[in-house]
Amino acid sequence: MNMTQLFSQGDALTKVVAALLLLMSVASWVVIFWKGWLLRRALGDVARCTAAFWQAASMEDAHVKVAAFDRESLVLPLITATQLQASATLGGAGNKAQQLTRGLRDALHAVLHKLQFGQVLLATVGATAPFVGLLGTVWGIYHALVGLTGSAQITIEKISGPVGESLLMTAAGLAVAIPAVLAYNVLGRGIGRIEADLEGFARDLLDLLADEPRSGSAN
């Protein structure tokens, strides 16, 4: 018996568990392919953007050059955050280095939040899918044993068939969880590499602009 037959012949709880595992699998694979494509683009874009920035003649020129490479808008928000505006609020208080630090920190957090999007889903699927499958297995075994209660003669064949079918749920849960866990770890390494590059670039921006006159940050 395959999962399709088990779903069609199962009761309501079995169908709910199977549908949930299918939904988790589809969602995790969508995130895996999307994040893999995004991170592959981002790794190259960040390297090209930082190289273009340091080859620019001014901040205005850097903004134009970086915009041509930054398809995922990972570097541009950091450059934009250095354009300080005069303000009478607490956000505009402090010296230029403090204002740059706040602006770059906020921009960096927003960019990293974009990179981390989807990781929680993969972690959740990897952690819960085996237990969802186990629930289906336990319920299937219980349902099978209840069905044998009124049987005059119980043989190993009558038990092994339904129990074996129920164990498909555990296998399905593992099949959903394993790719999600592997993808979470692999994608996490890519995100960590991009995060390190962006943090380094933000520190370089702060060192470059902190000691300049305030008017120089508007370029």
Read off the tokens for 184. Answer: 């979470």
User: Which residues neighbour 79 within 8 Å (Cβ) at sequence distance 6 or greater?
Assistant: 53, 59, 62, 63, 66, 205
Mean predicted lDDT score pLDDT of the chain: 83
Q: What residue spans of 56-118 are helical by DSSP H?
A: 59-69, 76-80, 96-116
- What is the residue range of 16's domain? 3-218
User: Given this model, what pLDDT does residue 98 score?
Assistant: 83
User: Given this model, what pLDDT does residue 126 score?
Assistant: 95
H/E stretch holding 166 reads: helix 156-209
Q: Among residues of the chain, what percentage have pLDDT more than 90?
A: 47
User: Given this model, what pLDDT does residue 156 score?
Assistant: 58
Alpha-carbon separation of residue 104 from 9, 25, 215 (angstroms): 58, 37, 18
User: Given this model, what pLDDT does residue 85 score?
Assistant: 62
- Hunting for tokens 């075994």 — which residue is that? 141
User: Given this model, what pLDDT does residue 3 score?
Assistant: 55
Per the structure, how many domains does the chain have? 1
What does each of the 219 residues of the chain score in pLDDT, given as a tens digit? 555 655 555 667 778 888 899 999 999 999 999 999 999 999 999 999 999 999 998 888 998 999 999 999 999 999 988 887 656 566 555 677 888 888 899 999 999 999 999 999 999 999 999 999 888 888 777 776 776 666 556 555 556 556 666 788 888 899 999 999 999 999 999 999 999 999 999 999 988 887 765 544 433
